[in-house]
Structure 1
Amino acid sequence: MHFYHCCRSLLLAICLCGGAVAADAPPNVVLILSDDQAWTDYGFMGHKTIQTPSLDRLARESLTFTRGYVPDSLCRPSLATIISGLYPHQHGIVGNDPPKHAQGENSAATDPRYQTGTRNDFLQHVDRMPKLAEILSREKGYVSHQSGKWWEGNYARGGFDEGMTHGDITRGGRHGDVGLSIGRRGMKPVFDFVRQAKADDKPFFVWYAPFLPHTPHTPPERILAKYRDKTSSLPIAKYWAMCEWFDETCGELLDFLEAEKVADNTIVIYVCDNGWINQEDASKYAPRSKRSQYDGGTRTPIMVRWPGHATPEINTTELASSIDIVPTVLAAVGIEKMPEMEGINLLDAKAVAARDAIYGEIFEHDIRAMDDPVASLRFRWVIDGPWKLIVPYAPNEPKAKIELFQVVSDPLEESNRAAKEPEVVKRLQAKLDAWWPAQ
């Protein structure tokens, strides 16, 4: 096999003019996105009860960063970052829903001017920002498919060639509509797309973002039965079962890639959009998880599997961010990232080792202004080595205090060391302000 590839490459090099050497077939790209899952809630991350055999296997086969993060702990801004490679304050999608008082409509979100006017107006941001599917299609001839969670209107608006989400507000389009059935009701749309791309000899990009383990927590009884006697809380048992159900669908997808003999030339990237800590008495998220500035909302494992290119390793020390996903894919297929993209190529070991900090920002669920991210800002945060500094935006969080945690030794962020480490606070505050002053 190695001899064949060497001869083929040499022959192509001789035949090409100007000394340029043709590249091998571009790798396919499959992006797997969990929806509302804590960074602790996987077997490979140490959970003692939840069973995630498929993701455990993917972690073993990937360059896996256990200290991965998303900049914002809310799904729509987080997903927009994953598709664009930009921070929320850059792409402008800083909340799930637009202001309730635009265009003179009533405060009720059911006002038709809000539903069909303001909501559609908010989609201006996706039209302006870079989109991975669009870049891959334009530069390298990829075909792409969207399934699952998707807030930004019709799938085509995200640059996808095919997809499941129609995005029509008048027909229930908000955050995925028909696309939210993927995984919960089978995998056929994704499998059909991959088979067609393979038949057409086209490199493909798959956005697989199932509404899992997101509420409603309605796992199959065959899975829930495993967890009923593992806890006295039925809501928690349901959530644990949802995590396994999601894992099961990931296994179906990974097995399918192998069965279709495309796994060896496919980059599989895994990330969760934001964290989730289930309440004891209800299928709702607890404080310090989703929407919060704490690791329970922002931390996630990030995995990159690319056989022959990404050396499998469980990296427990270096930092990774979802802003790195687009730069990593672009580097892999030979496209330069845009200057405004601050992420790095996670397969570049030198770049990973040289990184000294990652950053994030927490905004309101319902934004306060269409084109002013600062108006909705609550917190900024920075992680530098073992330290995490959280700085409240005083105009919107006047009672909140600066917090400093040693997240390596204090992963649950229980001991605020800001008063004891003023020099660390000062140093990290300067980094935060240099990154985004937020004024």
Structure 2
Amino acid sequence: MIISRCIRKTLLLSVLFTLLFLSAAPLLFAQSEKPNIIYILSDDQAWSDYGFMGHPHIETPNIDQLAADGLTFTRGYVTAPLCSPSLASIITGLYPYQHGITGNDPEFSSEKPRYQTDWQEARSRLYKDYLDEFQKHPTIPQLLQKLGYVSFQSGKWWGGHWSEGGFTDGMTHGDPSRGGRHGDEGLKIGREGMEPIFKFMDKAIADNDPFFVWYAPFLPHSPHTPPDSLLNKYLPKAPTKAVAAYWAMCEWLDITVGQLLDKVEEQGLTENTLVVFVTDNGWIQDPERPNRYAPGSKQDPQDMGIRTPIIYKWPAKIKPRMETEYLTSSIDMVPTTLAAVGMDPLPEMQGVNVMDQKALASRKRIYSMDFSHDMVAVDQPEKTLESRMIISGTWKLIAPGPANAATNEIQLYDILQDPMERQNLADAHPKVVKKLLASLNDWWPGKDR
């Protein structure tokens, strides 16, 4: 009898423990299921310069595999064909006219040579107005931190010290007296190894913290100084040494991407890590001038300046697919990331969650904009507006802005049939121009509303 009561008591305690555990399990499982997030940001690379995008010579096996394993949009676009405004959009989910960073530097006259220390310090004082406006808007590291995420900045970063972007750790100091303009110490990542990121990941794993990594290496960005082995590989294939060096830099980027993804795999994190790949802006290598881009790419509204493949890989949640029809934009990265962790986008965010098929199908157009390299007024972005762009279906329209010194004509292209934008069809399709221009003006008329 006593033994029987003991058994019943033991069984009762066991049942109670099981119920308590199960009631707590959703919370425990929810925490453990938060995906780690990695943004991989190529720097100055044309949309066509990958193996999976059909380049006949450039080898990018690691990015090719990432594309095969993920939801890959071949018709992706960035918000601007210049790195600083483009990256600011990627981290805030806002367009340049919203977050205030429309160029790389404030415009000012200086007797000191550009980029030297005195110029850098003067720039930093003037840039503060733009940085203050930018910091009114939460970044993705700041939003994720509310859920217990730790975050690491490496590579390109224009927002001062890494902490000013809401990162919990990072590499960029932002001190203008020590060359702090667009990444400084952070620009060593990739070119000088991956150890800073790996140390951060190891600590986050040891502390059981979900993590966010901003990997924005100075690759394939100039200076084009690839390892000799890569340069020699492309010299026989390229028309000039300058082109060979750029092609080699693209493969160097790919090698570092492989190293990062291998680290994720080695730690057993692949299944529940969201990896997003994009480039900040395009590039056409000038065949005769090393480290220089040709017109129609960086800082220009053509597709070679703003188009990029965009990849989302998350094996636990996203089914691999090569998407050649739907349009997407870097403006979608933040809303998609927030959806992945169960957060709603902020009201001012215009992007969509790309995991939502209905949202993708219902969107009929995306936008981009091109400003001057130097900014003149944080509260009047239209003063340096060179072009606004709208892409809808097969059509792309480029509308010149007040700062466009090259042309004042509307340009219309059948971007699927004419991806290099050689034939302006505006005169032949006035109704299409009228419709797209009306949509563009309704979105943002190029001035404060």
2:217 aligned with 1:200: no
Q: Distance in 1 between matches of 2:238 and 2:391?
A: 34
8 Å CA contact 2:372, 2:385 repeated in 1: yes
Within the candidate set 227, 245, 253, 1:238 is matched to: 245
2:273 aligned with 1:271: no
8 Å CA contact 1:13, 1:21 repeated in 2: no
Q: Distance in 1 between matches of 2:380 and 2:75?
A: 30
2:29 aligned with 1:33: no
Within the candidate set 166, 190, 201, 1:159 is matched to: 166
2:370 aligned with 1:340: no
C-alpha spacing 1:12/1:395, structure 2 compared with 1 (3 Å): farther
C-alpha deviations, 1:154-212, integer Å up to 9, x for none? Answer: 00000000000000111110000000000000000000000100000000000000000
Residue in 2 that maps onto 1:250 = 257
Q: State the number of aligned residues.
A: 425
Q: Supply the AA of the counterpart residue of 1:291.
A: Q
Matches for 1:316-331 after TM superposition, within 5 Å:
316-331=324-339
Could you tell me how far 1:117 is from its partner in structure 2? 1.6
Residue in 2 that maps onto 1:64 = 72
Q: Supply the AA of the counterpart residue of 2:321.
A: E
Residue in 1 that maps onto 2:369 = 361
Q: Supply the AA of the counterpart residue of 1:317.
A: E
Could you tell me how far 1:339 is from its partner in structure 2? 0.4
Matches for 1:30-179 after TM superposition, within 5 Å:
30-100=38-108, 109=114, 110-111=118-119, 114-138=122-146, 140-179=147-186
TM-score, normalised with respect to structure 1? 0.93
Q: Distance in 2 between matches of 1:322 and 1:352?
A: 14
8 Å CA contact 2:121, 2:176 repeated in 1: no
C-alpha deviations, 1:311-368, integer Å up to 9, x for none? Answer: 1011011001000000000001001110000000011111111110000110000112
Q: Supply the AA of the counterpart residue of 1:281.
A: E
8 Å CA contact 2:104, 2:374 repeated in 1: yes
Structure 2 residue matching 1:117: 3-state secondary structure = helix
Could you tell me how far 1:125 is from its partner in structure 2? 2.6
Q: Distance in 1 between matches of 2:61 and 2:29?
A: 39
Structure 2 residue matching 1:68: 3-state secondary structure = strand
C-alpha deviations, 1:233-271, integer Å up to 9, x for none? Answer: 000000000000000000000011000111111000000
Structure label with greater radius of gyration: 2
Structure 1 unmatched ranges of 5 or more: 1-9
C-alpha spacing 1:259/1:431, structure 2 compared with 1 (3 Å): same
Residue in 1 that maps onto 2:436 = 428
Within the candidate set 308, 317, 329, 1:309 is matched to: 317
Residue in 2 that maps onto 1:5 = none
Could you tell me how far 1:116 is from its partner in structure 2? 4.1
Residue in 2 that maps onto 1:217 = 224
C-alpha spacing 1:177/1:11, structure 2 compared with 1 (3 Å): farther
Q: Distance in 2 between matches of 1:21 and 1:413?
A: 53
Residue in 2 that maps onto 1:290 = 298
Could you tell me how far 1:112 is from its partner in structure 2? 7.1
Q: Supply the AA of the counterpart residue of 1:212.
A: L
Could you tell me how far 1:15 is from its partner in structure 2? 1.7
Superposition RMSD on alpha carbons, in Å?
2.0
